[in-house]
Every structure is written in C-alpha cells, then in structure tokens.
Amino acid sequence: MRKYLLFLVPVAILAGCKDYKPEMERALMERDSIMFMSEVKDSSINAFLATLSEIETNLDSITANQEAIAMETTDNVEFNKDIRERINENIQVINDLLNKNKDMISALNEKLRKSNVNIASLKKMIDKLNSDIAVKDAELASLNTQLADLRLMVDNLNLSMDSLTAANQQKEAVINEKTNQLNTAYWAIGNYKQLKASNILNKQGGFLGIGKEKVLKTNFNNDGFNQIDITKVNQFDINNKSAKVITNHPTDSYTLEKDAKGVILKLEITDPTRFWKASKYLVIVTG
C-alpha cells in the first residue's frame, strides 16, 4: 500500500506541472507584448520629439532670415539689384521652411492619431508649434506688405531721380548752349576784294570816290567767316606787309607781331575778355 501511494505522488506532480505550463507561456507572451508595446511607445515618442526638434530648428532659421531681411532694408535707401535678390532668396527660404513645418506637423498629428501614444504634453507642444507657425505666417504677410511699400517708394524715388536727372540734363544742355554761344566768335582775313566778294566789307563816305572808308556791311552773314572757340584761339596768322583791323576792338587788347622786314606775321590777343567784349567778329583787311 505504501508503495502504491509513493507511485501516485509523482504522477500528481507531473499532472500539476502539465496544467501550469500554458499559463506560464501566456504570462511570458503578455510580458513580451507589454515590453514590445513599451518599446513601440518609446520609439514613437522619440520620433515625435525628433520631428518637433526639427520644426523648432526651422522656426529658428525663419527668425534668422527675417533678421537678415530687416538688416538689408533698414538703412539701404538704394535697394539695388543685389539687395533685392538677397531679400527674395530669404523670403523664399522662409516660405519653404513654413511649408515644410506645416507638412511635418500635419504628418505628426496623423501619426499621433493612429498610434497608441496619448500624451497630453505632446499635443500641447504641437498646438504651440501650430501657434508659432501661424505667427510666422502673419509676420511674413506683413513683411511682404512692407517690402511692396518699400519697392513702391524706391520706384517713386527712382522716377523722381530720373525726372530730376532729365531736368538737370536739360538745364545742362541749355547752359552748354549758352556757354558755346558766349565762347563762339567769327573771323575773316583777306584783301578788300576778297572780303567784299564774301559780302563782308564795303566802302562808304568820301567824295567822288575819294577818301572812302572800308567798313563792315550792315547785312553781312556768317558764311564768309571762320568760326572759333575764343577760349582756345588767341592768335591769327596774317603774313602780309600791311593789315588793318576793321572791327572794333581795344587797341591795347591785342598786338600785331612783325618780323625784321616789317612783315606782319600775326595778330595775338593779349586780353581776350576785353578784345571780344566789343565784338564777336574779327575782320582784318590786308593791303
């Protein structure tokens, strides 16, 4: 009888072990599932945090680009082509970063909705970033308005400068014309016959053809004269034994230079202001 009881005990123990094994397996599976879900949850949270960090970095970059634009526009009245290109590049970067952030937050919200992660602080952070992006959107719209106003101001300024430049050029042209007129004179040298043929000289006065004086014709024109700039010419070649200045000029404002044989070589103006003040025409008749 005792031997029979001893035989039954191991059998009972074996039977008990067999019933406990499925429960152990279920417990192990539940433990593994919990650990797996914990790892998934941790992985999802880490991914969310990495995305949030990237969005924050993008917002910092947007702020840096805004500051760069502000520096370009604060003291730059000229607003030249290079500055405009840099501003446009910064605005494009801001637009790209804002759009990227919006896409990332949209994707993040979708992942958070589909995942088993339900952390209030994550949702709060996303809401805060959405608010920050909305602020940046408003700032960018305001910046675009300011830049449009600045471009209009610069365009108007350029238009005013163009008008002023045109007016100055017109005034300068008038001044140059007046200056040229003031500095322009006419001269003619020749014997009486030549000068008369050129409709420059005539004779008048005297009696019965005697004692007539050579004088300028009252209706002469400039065709028979040579034109000069009085600021550049102050002497005239004569090379004749006799010469007389017909036009009215102070005698002490010029000299007639002769050689050793008495030939008049040239007329040299010694006082241009006084010489040309009386007349802008010089007529020398040779004998």
Tens-digit pLDDT profile for residues 211-233: 567 778 888 888 899 999 999 99
- Count CA atoms closer than 13 A to 202's CA, side-chain side: 8
3-state SS class at 19: helix
Q: Is the pLDDT of residue 7 over 60?
A: no
Residues 6+ apart with CB under 8 A from 45: 117, 119, 122
pLDDT of residue 4: 40
pLDDT of residue 192: 92
Rounded CA separation 265/243 (Å): 10
pLDDT in tens, 241-264: 999 999 999 999 999 999 999 999
Full-model pTM: 0.48
Q: Is the pLDDT of residue 9 over 50?
A: no
Give me 212's structure tokens. Answer: 């007539």
Q: Is the pLDDT of residue 276 over 80?
A: yes
Local confidence band at 80 (pLDDT 50, 70, 90 cut-offs)? low
Query: Which residue has tokens 């995305």?
Result: 51
Q: Is the pLDDT of residue 207 over 60?
A: no
Residue 119 phi, psi (nearest 5) = -115, 120
Nearest to 50 by CA among 111, 93, 96: 111
Rounded CA separation 48/129 (Å): 13
Strand order in the sheet with 281-286: 226-229, 184-191, 281-286, 243-245
Q: What is the mean pLDDT of the chain?
A: 77
Say if residues 94 and 65 touch (Cβ distance below 8 Å): yes
The fraction of the chain above a pLDDT of 90, given in percent, is 31
pLDDT of residue 205: 63
pLDDT of residue 12: 43
Say if residues 188 and 226 touch (Cβ distance below 8 Å): yes
Nearest to 215 by CA among 226, 225, 200: 200
Say if residues 264 and 168 touch (Cβ distance below 8 Å): no
Q: Is the pLDDT of residue 74 over 80?
A: no
Local confidence band at 98 (pLDDT 50, 70, 90 cut-offs)? confident
* Higher-scoring residue by pLDDT: 208, 170: 170
Least confident of 23-27, 79-83, 140-144, 194-198: 23-27
pLDDT in tens, 46-58: 666 677 777 778 7
Q: Is the pLDDT of residue 107 over 70?
A: yes
3-state SS class at 282: strand
Q: Is the pLDDT of residue 108 over 70?
A: yes
pLDDT of residue 43: 55
Local confidence band at 11 (pLDDT 50, 70, 90 cut-offs)? very low
pLDDT of residue 50: 75
Strand 184-191 vs strand 281-286: parallel, antiparallel, or unpaired? parallel
